Each structure stands twice: as C-alpha cells, then as structure tokens.
A and B are shown apart, each in its own frame.
Chain A
Amino acid sequence: MAKLSLRGVVKRFGENTVCDGIDLEVEEGQMVCLIGASGAGKSTVLRCVNLLEPIEDGEIFLDGVDISVPGLNPQPVRRRIGMVFQSYNLFPHMTAMENVMLAPRRVYGKSREELRPEIAELFTRFGLADRMEHYPDQLSGGQQQRVAIVRALAMKPEVMLFDEITSALDPQLVGEVLDVLRLLKESGMTMVLATHEMGFAREAADKVCFLKDGRILEEGSPETLFGAPKHPETKEFLARSLK
C-alpha cells in the first residue's frame, strides 16, 4: 500500500483551476520530486497534502486512510507530515531556538530542557550553532531557510514536504542540505519535493513528476523522465532547463 496517494485532486482559486486532477502514488521511503515551470502548481499540491488548502474534489490517502474527508480534524495528520516553505515563514517574534522548540513542546508536551540538546545538535549540523538565539530578521536568507528546515525536522514527521527549500541557499549549503535529504531518505523517510535542482532530482529521486498547468503530464523514474521524456512539453522544459 502506498504511504501517500492522491486521486483526482482538484483545487481551484476562484475561476483559476490550479490542480486539475492530480493522481500520485508515493511509496513508503520513496523520494518523489515535482518539477515544472513557475506557476505549474507544485506548491499548491504540497499545501493540499498538508491539508492547508481544502480540495474541491478528489481524495488524499495517508497509509490508506482518506485524510481529505471534509470535516476531519487536520492536526493529527499535519503532525505526521512535515513541511518546509519556499518563503521560510519563520515566526518573527521568536528566536531560532524558540521557533524550533514551539511545536515539539506544544504537540508532544516535551520540556525545553529535554529538547535543547537534540535541537542544538540539529542547529550545529546545519551550521547555525552561533545563530540559535538570533531573531529571523537578524539572519540572512540562507540562515533563515536552514532554521525552517530544522524546525520541520524537529517534529520527526513520517512524510516530509519540501517546497523549493534550496532556492535561497548558496551552493555550498545546497550541497549540505541535499546531503541531509539523502540521509533522511536512507533512514526511510518518505519525501515529496518541489524542486528546481534537476541534478539532484535525477540523482536521488525515486520518481519524478512533471507538472504543467495543474496536471501531471508525465511521471516516471528519473532515468526514463530525464533520459527519454515522452511528452513533447516535458522535452521542451528539460531542454530549456540549465545544467
């Protein structure tokens, strides 16, 4: 049974159909990459999976259970699904450390003292050891995004959704972060990424989906999709992508 599966997911903003019948299967431990041009709907798919947007039609299953039933309490689901945003969305009134500790403290009822060592370790791994007590506004873009990743990881979710998390990072850190993603994958984490890092998608993904105008035009293993794309639009997109 697939860890996560989407069937005919439709999402509209007013007249604008942003997801137009998305079908997607993510197996336990798989890493699925969503690629596609800006505005294709990648971010929206991730937001729907995390129940941040109610969907107009279709279903979303987590471990075979329909989590898109209208009226379902979303919190227990969201706890099991971590998400990192394109635009960080750190809480500006809290230090980096407080940002990370908030959810584990409130959701799992752990104490600050309990959490501090393990979170400090995460910070150190992401090169933020000396930035733990800074406020988001005092951090550069790259530093902010790394704090956001730490924040999501601290919740130890079963599935992680990453929305272009490397966009604001310098190449050095992109490598570091992608290494972490690889480690996460080895440890069995199920992951869905919206990404522009074609190189990484090709190398590390189990499955790549090409989105255009709210539909998955083509999906498959990175070898087939990058090596021998079937759809002409996919070909064009890949051809025009650098590297």
Chain B
Amino acid sequence: HCADGKTLTDGKLTIATGNPAYYPWVMDNAPESGNGFEPAVAYAVASKMGFEAADVIWVRSSFDEAIQPGPKSFDFNMQQFSITEAREKVVDFSVPYYSAPMAVMVAANAAETEASVEALRDLIWGGVGTTTAVPMLTAIIQPNKDPMLYADTADVAAAMQAGQIDAAMFDLPTALYLSAVVVEGSKLLGQFPADRTENPDQFGMLMEEGNPLKACVNEAINALAESGELAGIEAEWLQETTGVPLID
C-alpha cells in the first residue's frame, strides 16, 4: 500500500481533531463514532488508504500544536483548516475535502438589516480570530468600526448575546448551527458565494511539512471526490447548507 512505512506508527493511522471538536463537524465531540462530516471523511479516506476502522487512532491538538515546528504527534489533522498560501509555507495541506461558503449571522436587533455589503458596513462585527473569516471581513465588508475578534465560536456567541456585536461571520455549517441552537433570536442573513474572494475558503488536511504520506492522502481524497462519495457524505451531514440566500 501507498501508506506503508510512512505513518507515525506502522499499520495505524493517527488523525488529530480539535479539542473540543465542534458540532456540526464532529458529533458529540466523539470522532471515534464516525458521526459527523469530518470523521466520516476521515474513515472514508482511511479505508481508501487501506486501514481498518480499528487502525484509526484519534488524538487531539490545538491550532498552535498543529503548526509548531518539529515532529508532529499525528499523521494528519482535520479541524476545518483553511488552505492558505502563507500556511502552506510552514505545513503541508492535502487537496481540499470541502469548500465552505462564508455566512453572515446577525443578532436579533439587526435582524432587519438589508442583505447588502453597504448596509452591513455599519454594524459592529465579530469573528473568530484564528479563522479566515478575519481577512474576508476586512476584504469584503470593510466595516466602519474595528471588528471584535474572539478565541472561539462560543465567545462570539456570548458577545452577541450580551449585545456587544451585531453581526459575525462564520463558515456556513457553523453559522447554521449557532443561529439555530445557541444564540437566541439571531438569524442567518445570507451566505457569500464561494467565488466572492480570489481564494475560496477550502478545508484541507494538515500535515507536517514534507510528509511522505501527502501523495497517498491526496490520491484517496481525489478518488472519493470522483466517485461522488465525498458529495454523499456532505449531503448526509451538512444537508441544511443549501437554501441560504446569497449576499452581494
């Protein structure tokens, strides 16, 4: 097999996810169950690479641990890492396994805002500081007031609940989850078409720079994409993402 001798532990595939791993990407913070979009993709890729489900080992890692120099404790890391040029200089990414549109979520008090960039400019914006939502925000919306940036989605939600921000930008699945479950009275105003920026936000599996496994992983993902399996997994776990209006 193409993975022989290239994994951290022979015969095993070590996959890292976040701590915690977020809904709707991973269900119940339990990737071992295979429930959720990312575990489903992971197990599909693993089986394409010739690993039994029992041979997949899950570990946890923070963003910082994922990008630290030196040896890594995983073969690849899946936690909605956007592929960017800058990041690619330090670590390796697989080919994308998901293209995420960006969505705008607004608080109850801004629910009636017109879905146009001009109207959105006047709102107070928030976002998660470690995501590519930040450059998108500054590139597309160019808000009048400096946006507030937070450590994770829970903090953004809390700030919205406290009335400190009017709007926030997330990838669409996360935004759907937050507006439906977490932030009372909030609303999904719309999504940006994926081609709105030059580099559409695409999630890749993160690997140590020069990881020999890369080709093997890419091969597996490409195969899944061609066979339509990937689209099937997406439809199973992220089906609600269709039907959200576009913003222009």
Direct contact of A and B (CB under 8 A): no
The residues of B with any CB-CB pair to A shorter than 8 Å are none
